[in-house]
Amino acid sequence: MTTRYVSPKGRGSFRRIGDALRAAGPGDVIVVAGGEYAEQLRLDRSVAVVAEPGGGQVTVTGVPGGEPTVVAEGLECTVRGLTIKAPSDDSGAPAVGVAGGAGLMIEDCTVSGGRIHARGNENTGQSSDLAGYGVTTLMLRGSRLEQGRLAAIHLSGRVQAKIEDSVIEMIDGIGVVLSGPAYLDASRLRLNQTSGYGFRLRGTSKLVATDGTIRQTGMAGVLLEDGATAKLSDVRIEKAGGPGVHATGSARSELTDCRVREARASGLVAQDSASLVAADCAITDAGANGLLVSDSATATVTATRFDRPAYSAVHLTGTANVKLTDCHVREGVEHGVHVTASAKVELIRCGIQDVGLTGLSAVDAATADAEDCRIVGGGTGIRLESTTATNVRTSSVIGTIGTGVELAGQGLSSLDAVRVSGTKAAGIVVGTGAAAAIGASSIENCAGSGLVIWSEATPTVTGLRVRTVAKNGIYVAEKAGGTYTDCDVTGTKYPALHLAKAAAPTFKHLRIRDCAEPIGQEDGAVPVFEDCTVDGVAMVKETPPVAAAATAGGAPAPDVSVPGTLDESMPPDDETLEDVLAELEEQVGLDRVKHDVQSMVKLMQTVRMREEAGLPAPPLSRHLVFAGNPGTGKTTVARLYGRILKALGLLRKGHLVEVDRTALVGEYVGHTGPKTQAAVTQALGGVLFIDEAYSLAPIGIGNDFGAEAIATLVKLMEDHRNDLVVIVAGYVNDMSRFIGSNPGLSSRFTRTLQFEDYTAAELVAIVEHQARGHQYELTGDARGALTTLFEQLPRGEGFGNGRSARQIFQAMTERQAHRMSELTAPTSAQLVALEAADLPESF
């Protein structure tokens, strides 16, 4: 081995590194003194180029012409302590190129302005397992890659690479690209600020990464395509511009003790036929789902946390198949685990806490199987609405704002040893016509009824224990039935059983103890009791009917009251769209609102035509924000909007239910959820109009029950998205704050209609409309005086627009009546005339 010295000032044997390389033999070491070297280094034999210790910085800058600054062609080449810069032209040439079959170690170097590109021997006929001669090797240790273009490192073909204790930063493109059968083992790599992906794997490439970080990527932190494989251990992925890890094709990703934080999209994604395995990981603050699995992809996730995702923590669709063991979801905005289409999920010893909508949700033809799980707080605990069988065993639901468990699907939903406790509404609800089997379960301390069976449902219930619920123990609705064997109902504040008209349940070995009354039975109910007892005394075989009443002796419904103001005049079935639009046009003023409504009608008609033609429909949200001052026609337009949607076939009733804060928010814990549920139930098929909606989110009050009403409303809007329209109304600035108070609101209320104040002329027109409707007429003098009054009327906080106009009309009729009473025999013309003298002196 020979050591050769290079110095730009002639102190060494050579002034240029290239000259020393040409003179060197295999195994030689070239020591380079500090300085700037503008040349290409071609390492065509096994040599080492190293910076002189203590000799200052050695910078090698490539020359224009499209060639890399450093080219390694020998089997065992080394560069150490150098700063390597790509050529300064726009050719896009790499800073370092490693030829097929060559080997290069880069140690304690800085590579700037260009990538490292290692190419494998593509045509050697060798297998793709990287064994034997002809494999390109790259070792990167203690080095820094910065300000590269396209990529920092590109490994293509039969390449075997290893990175240790290095940094990749500020890359205009992808951090690391692997293609073909390339293999990379990266330890303690810090990758930061790329405009593209952190890692992109294609072909059959493989990445093994340990104790690393991937931060601030413009796209996914790690993207796997084709049949690529990635094994990540103790890797932190932070602020990815897309998903944290995204596996597509038939790729396989495996994560152990990894952290994915603040991904702009979902934390982990598997699609196509990809597979994902994760253990001991944490996915926090994802911009979409924590875990998204679609198509025929699979995922096995163990001991992993999903905290505060912007969408459902775990979302499955297609025919995805996922197993979650010892996993936990906390504080999600939407669902904890949401299974759709024909996807399957198995949950073992999982916990879900404080999610906005439903802890575990299964819809469409999805399959869910949960065992030893615990759901605490949030909206609804479990909702199973699938056409296939679903099962929950030895699990608990505690302290939800809404119902503990809802069984609403046509497929058999089975609960076995499930405990429901402390819910603010009913414990378990079996929906209309749903198929359900409940065994060895318990319901206790709920603010609603224990078990609710809706119309035409006939569940099989065995060994159920219902204790200390605020309403009925078991509520069987009209035309519902089922078999209830070996059940106990204890300490209810309403009758233990409520049996509605035409209910036909069968109770075997039922025990009722310490309840307000044993049975509240409506006329027409036909229950069957076999070997049942009340407070230890045998129940007579036929229980006489008890008239239903809205008292503790017989509640009209398990969890609801009637809080809203219902527009009793339902839109007629034969009302046409043209009729309703013509009525809208007749309203005084509202030009901007009329134009907006016409635009929405055209969009809805287009959506309907596209659906009928089998085309995908554009996004369409029917929920609206009405922003404006009082008396500007918001309620009137809301009523017309419901009729328009009915005429379009988008609502089945089109009626209006008007509520405010008092109708939705309770006075004590457990009161708000049922009140909000009641308002929504009343509005199903039509429009729920919430006036002064901003009062549900008062400023500076952290523990207000209004937040509970909002969370319940958001959930119910999702549950009844095809059968409910919600309009929230109030002042412009307050409504902006209200919509921003809950992410679920901002995603559902995307269109605002601005209601402008009426002009003086429009207010006069409203008074004239009122006068004609009551057979009065304004004189010319009265019309002029009224115009002046409205022009001069202060438009402060107390001004009510159309309401003020109607109040002035009422005041005029009262003053006119007083004036007529002083006349002996007023004429017909005098009786109908409203004069200037009839205007109120102050208003």
Helix (H) / strand (E) containing 711: helix 706-719
Residue range 276-319, pLDDT digits in tens: 999 999 999 999 999 999 999 999 999 999 999 999 999 999 99
The two beta strands, 390-393 and 528-530, are unpaired
Alpha helices in 569-616 (DSSP H): 577-585, 591-612
Residue 795 pLDDT more than 80? Answer: no
Phi, psi of 246 (to 5 degrees): -130, 110
Instruction: Select the CATH number that applies to the domain covering 568-754 from these four: 2.60.40.1080, 3.40.50.10470, 3.40.50.300, 3.30.420.10.
Output: 3.40.50.300
Residue 552 pLDDT more than 60? Answer: no
Closest CA to 115 of 142, 138, 81: 138
Residue range 424-467, pLDDT digits in tens: 999 999 999 999 999 999 999 999 999 999 999 999 999 999 99
578 Cβ partners below 8 Å, 6+ apart?
A: none
Q: Domain 1-122+135-195: which topology?
A: Pectate Lyase C-like (2.160.20)
The two beta strands, 451-453 and 428-430, are parallel
What CATH number was assigned to the domain covering residues 760-838?
1.10.8.60
Among 278-287, 364-373, 608-617, name the one with the lowest average pLDDT: 608-617
SS3 804: helix
Average pLDDT over residues 108-116: 95
Q: How many residues does the chain have?
A: 843
Residue 374 pLDDT more than 70? Answer: yes
- pLDDT for the residue 704: 67
* Residue 267 identity: G
CB 43 within 8 A of CB 21: yes
Share of the chain above pLDDT 90, in %: 58
Average pLDDT over residues 104-115: 96
pLDDT, averaged across the chain: 88
Residue 91 pLDDT more than 70? Answer: no
Cα gap 680→187, rounded to integer Å: 56
SS3 682: helix
Residue 723 pLDDT more than 90? Answer: no
Q: How many CA atoms lie within 13 A of 103 on its CB side?
A: 12
Residue 232 pLDDT more than 80? Answer: yes
Q: Is the dihedral of CA 629, 631, 633, 635 positive or negative?
A: positive
Instruction: Give the CA angle between residues 630, 634, 635 to the nearest 5°.
Output: 105
Residue 543 pLDDT more than 90? Answer: no
SS3 815: helix
- pLDDT for the residue 567: 47
- pLDDT for the residue 668: 64
The two beta strands, 116-119 and 537-538, are unpaired
Q: Residues spanned by CATH 1.10.8.60 within the chain?
A: 760-838
Cα gap 682→659, rounded to integer Å: 11
Neighbours of 393 (CB within 10 A): 18
Among 119-123, 365-369, 383-387, 598-602, name the one with the lowest average pLDDT: 119-123
Closest CA to 320 of 346, 302, 288, 342: 342
CA distances from 576 to 473, 579, 657 (A): 46, 5, 21
Among 103-107, 190-194, 293-297, 785-789, name the one with the lowest average pLDDT: 785-789
What's the pTM? 0.66
Highest average pLDDT, of 434-448, 619-633, 752-766, comes from: 434-448
- pLDDT for the residue 588: 81
What distance, in Å, lies between the first and last C-alpha atoms of the chain? 106
Q: Residues spanned by CATH 2.160.20.10 within the chain?
A: 1-122+135-195
pLDDT band of residue 796 (cuts 50, 70, 90) is low
Q: Residues spanned by CATH 3.40.50.300 within the chain?
A: 568-754
Instruction: Give the CA angle between residues 642, 643, 646 to the nearest 5°.
Output: 90
- pLDDT for the residue 699: 73
- pLDDT for the residue 803: 75
Residue range 320-353, pLDDT digits in tens: 999 999 999 999 889 999 999 999 999 999 999 9
Residue 562 pLDDT more than 60? Answer: no
Cα gap 753→641, rounded to integer Å: 12
- pLDDT for the residue 800: 67
Residue range 675-707, pLDDT digits in tens: 888 888 888 999 999 988 888 887 765 556 788
